[in-house]
Structure 1
Amino acid sequence: MKNFLLSLILTTLVSSVYATAASIKVIYGDDNRVDVIASPNELYVKLAESTAAMISNDKLKEFNAEQFEIGGKTLAESGVCAQERFSQQPIEANCSGFLVGKNTLVTAGHCIRSQFDCDNNAWVFDYKVQRESDSSVVVDKSSVYKCKSIIARELNSSDSNDYAVLELEQDVLDRDVLKFRTSGKPKVGDELVVIGHPTGLPTKISDKAYVREVNDIFLVANLDTYGGNSGSAVFNAVTGEVEGILVRGDTDYIFDRSQMCRVSNRLGENAGRGEDVTLITAVKGLPSDVSEPAPEEPSEPELPDTPSEPEQPEEPSLSWWERLLRWLFGK
């Protein structure tokens, strides 16, 4: 009886673990993730400049008067097998985000749940390695921004909407605001690229994915993403416009008993449930588009001045006797 109960408990625990992990991410087909320095695509590298990592304030260590160092635990030290890609890099990002206004940033709703989360995390641009073997990243303090407030947020189990729009304490002036879709939605088969922080790693670009399904709230795609990618910008690979926000997906790591560590969960290109992406058109609180100034109404042409009648010279004033003479003699 005890063995039966123990078996039942273990089965329940394992099922629970896998159910929880199913909200995370996975590799479909080839692993298309690359560091920013390794990407040959100039458009993607430019887009990456406007993406950011959500990092706890206490993980930002003073490096010098102008820079922070972000290090700590590496991917291998978290229980992932040493032969996994990027295993020697730090894993300090909790979520990902991207810039849609000079002081407006978008992430997943489950990444920022309250003002407490807003206050206790920084948004770090340029969290990227210079070499694949880097175990820490040094960033300029000017690339680190504080969250001021939550402009809009939704985490809805009924329609699966999941987003947060944040106001930053300062304007971001040294990088471009990302363009995003404002109407319509992507089509099945459209090619996508995601830029963010899989498993908390420094910025990774992952392309060669495509839309599998799409509805009014989210799309499903075969993106190579992990936990930490939540909040990542998902771009149209051709136009560079943001199509949505990476929010959930399949199990990312599985336990390898032969090595006693975790390895990436690899599925076929068209296998698995896919990764869910909240459509950017379903997000409220985004900055309004800056429209072209309306042309001024043409004014009526001014008419040339009409020449006026020449003024008659004023008659000199007459004395009383001159007036009398004029009356008597008509002059």
Structure 2
Amino acid sequence: MSRIHWCWVVVWALGCAPEAGDAPLAQRHDPVIYGDDNRLDVPVHPDPAWQAVGRDTVVALMSPRVLDTRDPDRVRVRAATLRDTQALCPDERFVDQPVAADCSGTLVGADRVLTAGHCVDGATCDDLRVVFGWHQTADGAFGQITADDIYRCVEVEAWSLDERGADLALIRLDRVAAGRTPATLRLEPEPLPRGTPLVLIGYPSGLPAKIDDGGQVVVPGGPTRFQATVDAFGGNSGSGVFSAQDGRLVGVLVAGQQDYVVDGRCRRVNRLPDARSPAESLIYPAVLLDLLCVDRPQHPLCMPVGEGWCQPCAMDVACPTGWTCRLLEGVPGQGACAVGCMGDGDCRADHACVAAACVPRPGPTLCQGGDVWQEDACGLARRRVERCPVDGPCR
């Protein structure tokens, strides 16, 4: 992992409700804690692998009206605090942190994000911003957000909103999320076993990103939905839920239980026993293929990767038997499944034998954001190879 340099993002405490016309995206999830409150800010989580997912895979869905991009190198987030927006008791956690995210999402392709259907549709896509890296450390500092971390929604490629069925949306971004790490989807039709340990990463109540690694499957359900005890809140709608065993995306959070409870003149987070049912409702990601691939069989997410070739990964267990997850050069946290080799002849044509493993060959170069980037043959990673002159075209 590369060193993370955390800088300030200035947050303006507004202390007032949104004006008419500034209503947030629909939120159908109620806040609740199961057992202990396991939420941690991304930069202080003890596992660097989950930090990387929170930094490079999970996104906040925001209104452009909360983002001041006049200085593209230092984007300002304008938001009231959780205390002000939810009238929380002063000893509740995170009460002084800002609330700016309407929903959460997960990068699942080079320029695709998966979220809940009630978070975005074709009519609201243009008024949505997808933001990487909105995090806060224990000392109150923020990770630096620049204009390069902010993307626009240009198309909703698949969408469903069914209270008893699928509640999913797949959106296409205005450009490739260069240097980011798409999640590996669990697409098996079988339900997850009861007790499967889970990790939820998203933006609870609109706060900076949190990691909750204490959840588990309590009702396997299937084929569309299952229930789990993840500590989830309104802004977690659309959050990715990952297997703690292999790092794959196994669910999308869409609904939950009773919200905050009144305690005198303020409110507190509703706390429920761990491993209870009913719990939080999630959608299996395999449902996405049913929504997408009938009409778009050539979509990148509908094309089989083929027994490990060009398969993104975070851990060895996400790869076929006998394969390992190898980090891609120049892209911290980005991995591809690799099989052993003695020479290039043991690899597929678009792979080379490097350090006894088949890895993607360098691919084409492309212009983006005024710079030249090189993509690998699988389209899994991009690295900047040249900075173009100011006001000059890429060569």
Q: Same fold judged by TM-score > 0.5?
A: yes
Matched AA of 1:196: G
Are 1:182 and 2:197 matched, yes or no?
no
Tell me, yes or no, if the aligned pair for 2:61 and 2:101 is still in contact at 8 Å: yes
Quote how far apart the aligned CAs of 1:176 are.
1.0
Tell me, yes or no, if the aligned pair for 2:64 and 2:127 is still in contact at 8 Å: yes
Rounded Cα–Cα distance in structure 2 between residues aligned with 1:251 and 1:121 = 28
Rounded Cα–Cα distance in structure 2 between residues aligned with 1:172 and 1:146 = 11
Among 231, 241, 258, the alignment partner of 1:234 is 241
Question: TM-score with structure 2 length normalisation?
Answer: 0.65
The residue matched to 1:64 in structure 2 has which SS?
Answer: coil
Cα deviations by residue, 1:92-140 (Å, 9 ceiling, x for unpaired) = 000000100001100000001333x211110001011133535x76411
Which residue in the other structure is 2:326 paired with? none
The residue matched to 2:236 in structure 1 has which SS?
Answer: coil
User: Normalized per residue, which structure has more helix?
Assistant: 1
Tell me, yes or no, if the aligned pair for 1:107 and 1:230 is still in contact at 8 Å: yes
Rounded Cα–Cα distance in structure 1 between residues aligned with 2:261 and 2:171 = 34
The residue matched to 1:96 in structure 2 has which SS?
Answer: strand
Tell me, yes or no, if the aligned pair for 2:29 and 2:237 is still in contact at 8 Å: no
Q: How does 1:284-295 map to 2 (within 5 A)?
A: 284-285=291-292, 287-288=301-302, 289-291=304-306, 292=309
Rounded Cα–Cα distance in structure 1 between residues aligned with 2:144 and 2:244 = 29
Quote how far apart the aligned CAs of 1:271 are.
3.4
Tell me, yes or no, if the aligned pair for 2:204 and 2:234 is still in contact at 8 Å: yes
Matched AA of 1:287: L
Quote how far apart the aligned CAs of 1:231 are.
0.3
Which residue in the other structure is 2:44 paired with? 38
The residue matched to 1:105 in structure 2 has which SS?
Answer: strand
After TM superposition, what 4+ stretches of structure 1 lie above 4 angstroms from structure 2? 293-296
Are 1:86 and 2:94 matched, yes or no?
yes
Worse overlay, 22-31 or 73-82: 22-31
Among 148, 153, 156, the alignment partner of 2:159 is 153
Matched AA of 1:207: D
Higher relative contact order (CA 8 A, sep 6+): 1
Structure 1: 5+ residue runs without aligned partners? 1-20, 297-331
| CA RMSD in angstroms, aligned pairs only | 2.2
Quote how far apart the aligned CAs of 1:229 are.
0.2
Which residue in the other structure is 1:310 paired with? none
Quote how far apart the aligned CAs of 1:80 are.
1.6
Which residue in the other structure is 1:275 paired with? 280
Which residue in the other structure is 2:63 paired with? 56
Tell me, yes or no, if the aligned pair for 2:44 and 2:137 is still in contact at 8 Å: no
Matched AA of 1:273: P
Q: How does 1:239-278 map to 2 (within 5 A)?
A: 239-257=246-264, 260-271=265-276, 273-278=278-283
Are 1:144 and 2:150 matched, yes or no?
yes
Rounded Cα–Cα distance in structure 1 between residues aligned with 2:161 and 2:34 = 26
Tell me, yes or no, if the aligned pair for 1:86 and 1:133 is still in contact at 8 Å: no
Rounded Cα–Cα distance in structure 2 between residues aligned with 1:50 and 1:196 = 10
Quote how far apart the aligned CAs of 1:26 are.
0.6
Among 203, 209, 212, the alignment partner of 1:197 is 203
Rounded Cα–Cα distance in structure 2 between residues aligned with 1:132 and 1:225 = 23
C-alpha spacing 1:67/1:192, structure 2 compared with 1 (3 Å): same
The residue matched to 1:139 in structure 2 has which SS?
Answer: coil
Rounded Cα–Cα distance in structure 1 between residues aligned with 2:259 and 2:140 = 22
The residue matched to 1:199 in structure 2 has which SS?
Answer: helix
Tell me, yes or no, if the aligned pair for 2:216 and 2:229 is still in contact at 8 Å: yes
Rounded Cα–Cα distance in structure 2 between residues aligned with 1:95 and 1:40 = 25
Which residue in the other structure is 2:176 paired with? 171
Which residue in the other structure is 2:112 paired with? 104
Tell me, yes or no, if the aligned pair for 1:101 and 1:287 is still in contact at 8 Å: yes
